[in-house]
Amino acid sequence: MLVVAGAHSIDSLLVEYFRMKILNIVLDSKNHTSKIVTSLKPLILGEENVSINLKTSKYNNLMQAILLVSAVNNARANGYQVEINCESINEYLQRINFYTELGIDIEEKFKRHNRKESLLEICNVNDKNSIQVVDGIMRILQKSTSLDQNVLSCLNYCFWEMIDNIQEHAKSKIGGYVVVQNYPKKNNLEIDLVDTGRGIRASLSENAKFADISEAEALQESIKEGMTRGTGRGNGLFHTTNFVKENDGTFWMHSGNHMLEVVKGRVKTFEVPFWDGTAIHLRVKTNNDVLLENIFGDEKPITVEEYNESINGLW
């Protein structure tokens, strides 16, 4: 089955096809995420018009999906033509709005069930819908897990801070993209957030103290307490990574040519293929509680206090 997004006619498609850079993209969780980032290099750098031959497998990877969505829509926003040729359709990817966000109109041959308690489909995040996005994430946590109210308070704060980073710091033409999936049998929740903005180093360098900071140093500095570019609130990534350590979850952040990873409480930074912006992956263990005192100390952010007061009446 061949499905093409972006073509106006067969003749025009053929003419443009031979003027385009051909990319062969395979979405498969067996492949490391850096492999798709490498494959997307012409899109990321915005060098030329692109035709993508897209293959998917039964082993889906949410981060790979929104990296592709982000790269394609950013290239289009910058005036480049991107055609997508799908040899087959993956029903799960269709269910999470992957093809819709790529501009591919495909008839759905399945019945959609309301999964708001376990799934937030791929969607664009911007200043007009950020409240709804965070509420959607919190609804999944509230309805699908048995997390303590203190944990929910912490996560609510962390999500607001990450969304705020896109709106205030990233300066992306297309905002960002987010997808969330709860895996109850595995007792974990995955949140992936991607933007095609200027990245962590460029954002921090607005603070004169970090004008000459390297990319790896910028990632390391971004998770320290009180870290800000000089105009933001700061501490969002500091508290997020502290939560992950306490929860025994997983966190990684990819910006530019470097990635910072938090696994089993340990932080490491290493070089990876270039991503023009920031990608954040968060995996929460839904059966592990945390003590807020170990994350915030004696000074909880106002957003955490507000959430504690309002959570019982939200849903």
Rounded CA separation 57/27 (Å) = 6
Contact 273, 187 (CB under 8 A): no
Phi, psi of 267 (to 5 degrees): -110, 130
Residue 18 has a pLDDT of: 56
- 119-313, what's its fold? Heat Shock Protein 90 (3.30.565)
Calculated CA dihedral for residues 170, 172, 174, 179, nearest 10 degrees: -30
Spatial contact of 255 and 271, defined as CB atoms under 8 Å apart: no
For the chain, domain boundaries: 3-101, 119-313
pLDDT of res. 250: 94
Distance CA 146, CA 213 (A): 42
CA 241 to chain centre: 16
Tell me if 267 sits within 8 A of 223, measured CB to CB.
yes
Amino acid at 74: N
CATH class of 3-101: alpha beta
* pLDDT, one tens digit for every residue, the chain (315 residues): 445 555 445 555 554 555 788 999 999 888 888 889 999 998 888 878 999 999 998 888 999 999 999 999 999 999 999 999 998 899 999 999 999 999 999 888 888 877 778 899 999 998 888 888 998 998 888 887 777 777 788 788 888 888 877 776 667 889 899 999 999 899 999 999 999 988 899 888 888 888 889 999 999 998 988 765 444 445 778 888 988 998 999 999 999 999 999 988 899 999 999 999 999 999 999 888 888 788 877 777 766 666 666 544 443
| Whole-number pLDDT of residue 219 | 94
What pLDDT is attached to residue 114?
A: 77
Q: Can you state the angle between helices 149-165 and 302-310, rounded to 10 degrees?
A: 130
Is the whole model's pTM more than 0.85, yes or no?
yes
